[in-house]
Chains A and B, each alone.
Chain A
Amino acid sequence: MTSLDTFRMGLLDPGYPVPKGLENGTRQAAGNRYDVYRNNVTHSLIAALRTAFPLVYKILGGKSFDTLAPAFVRAHPPRSPLMMHYGAEFPQFLADMPELSKFGYLADCAKLDLAFRASYHAADTVPIDPTVLQSLPLDVLMQERMLLAASTRILRSNWPIFDIWRFNNVADAPKPTPQAQDVLITRPEFDPQPYLLPMGAAFWLNRLGMGDTFEQAYDAALAATPEFDLSKSLIVAFQSAAFCKVQGF
């Protein structure tokens, strides 16, 4: 085992003894000087987690969040120097915690936070002008394929995830009531925005994102969700600037 292997052993384990071979400036054992590195590693990862999951942090409160965060950072240290991607395992970690079992929606809140962050750092794209599509004859339009903007994220939830986000971020927003909700996140400029999707629209958008024509995606969405409303779904897609290009245009 090398010096650095030994040094690593205690960094994320507060019960691990201070590694041998570390000294202060007078050749005495390093003692709590090693704890500076322990604290730096653990606290910097917890701070990154707080920044990355603002909705979960707000719902749990700082004290509860900081109580559970050390267990996560010790079990799941980052795998990349790109801290903007840290925390992909956090939703499942929350879902697996027995003490959070009555907060079943928290894992989806963490997924929503992840989606916001991914959207924030996604590539810039130019949204399509809706009038370009409106000018097309319907039969032509239905054979077109759309590209979703790189910042687009779609989250399907069995919880009222959009209302939970609003309740925690918008003044006087109503208290969420039990229902499943699908959310579209896009980034019109620099700040990602959430949009509540009508029934079936998440499926429809996903099909468009996979390369279906309008007609194929519409038929599939209608088959999956008889209540699917194309015009309502198109309005949300255009309002949110989710489409960035029509192939051939």
Chain B
Amino acid sequence: MLDSTRQFDRLPNTPGVGYKPQHFKQLCDDPDPVEWIEVHAENYMGDGGRPRAQLAALSERFALSIHGVGLSIGGEMPLDVDHLKRLKALCDWAKPASFSEHLAWSTHGSEFLNDLLPLPYTPATLARVADHINQVQDTLSRKMLLENPSSYLVFAASTLSETDFIAEVVHKTSCGLLLDVNNVFISSVNLGISASHYIDAYPINHVHEIHVGGHDTQTDDSGAPLLIDTHGQPVDEPVWELLKYTLGKTGPKPVLVEWDNDVPDWPALQAETKRIAEVLAA
């Protein structure tokens, strides 16, 4: 059972971790634990069992961020109302300090494609994304944070820059932002743009949370470097530098390390949180 007296109204401006069930005991036993964790919403939409029991226990101890990966905010179809109801039920139950989703699509027709797919940045997309975010915020009765994507390509049809697109979404919906600086770095390398210029153009005053994570390096057809957003290794040095640059503009924020594939033992993840703490303290 959740303790209804417990309240974490906001994420603290400290390091957080993307929670993995294999770290449950170490996380709870850590004498110097993180103050907040993030979970993927869809993993906790079962009816019961271990996932819900662990989340109930963790919710009483850590501030919680619920991070959706299945709403398909950018999809061309209406939002899945059943899924939105599940999300509301989860948020009403777990009472997270924050809810976030992605600037992406994942549902097409009756299919769920289990990936965060890219969007053309056009006025039509903007109107659709804004409508969907308004629907989410109205349903959940809370502000949601929108996360910027990692990009491997662009649509020729795009008429807006990503930063202008996101700024317009904020203007139309009053949503908050989850700024993933690893995604910014990946996109900057893959698309040949300046990461610091991206941060400079980003609506930085609306950032409520920051993500860092690891990426892999491959090459495209022309031999140019192509960074892949794997969340499967330590955070790369240039991403730490970009985090410093970003925090210099935002001031202290909740900063989360994501490590979703080839998940390491707890000490490796803990080491990343210590590094975040160092950057926050600098």
- Report A's interface with B, CB cutoff 8 A: 2-5, 7-8, 11, 21-28, 30-34, 36-37, 40-41, 44-45, 48, 77-84, 120-124, 150-151, 187, 190-191
Contact = CB atoms under 8 A, between A and B. Distances in A.
Interface of B: 42-43, 45-53, 69-72, 75-76, 80, 83, 86, 105-108, 110-115, 117-120, 152-157, 190-193, 220-222, 224, 226, 228
Given A5-B108, A25-B193, A187-B49, 13 more contacts: A23-B153, A34-B152, A36-B226, A41-B115, A78-B112, A79-B111, A81-B42, A81-B70, A81-B107, A81-B112, A120-B50, A122-B47, A190-B53
B46 A84 contact: yes
Question: Nearest 5 CB-CB pairs, A to B?
Answer: A81-B70, A121-B46, A25-B191, A25-B192, A123-B47
Contact of B48 (A31, A48, A81, A122): A122
Consensus secondary structure, chain A interface: loop
A54 to B, nearest CB: 16
Given A25-B154, A25-B190, A33-B152, A4 B76 contact: yes
19 contacts: A4-B119, A11-B117, A22-B155, A22-B156, A25-B154, A25-B193, A27-B156, A33-B152, A36-B152, A40-B115, A44-B114, A48-B114, A77-B113, A83-B42, A121-B46, A122-B48, A122-B49, A123-B47, A123-B48
A82 B48 contact: no
Given A8-B108, A33-B152, A33-B190, A2 B47 contact: no
Contacts of B193: 25
B152 A4 contact: no
B80 A121 contact: no
Given A22-B156, A30-B153, A44-B115, A81 B83 contact: yes
Given A36-B226, A82-B45, A77 B111 contact: yes
A39 to B, nearest CB: 9
A150 B47 contact: yes
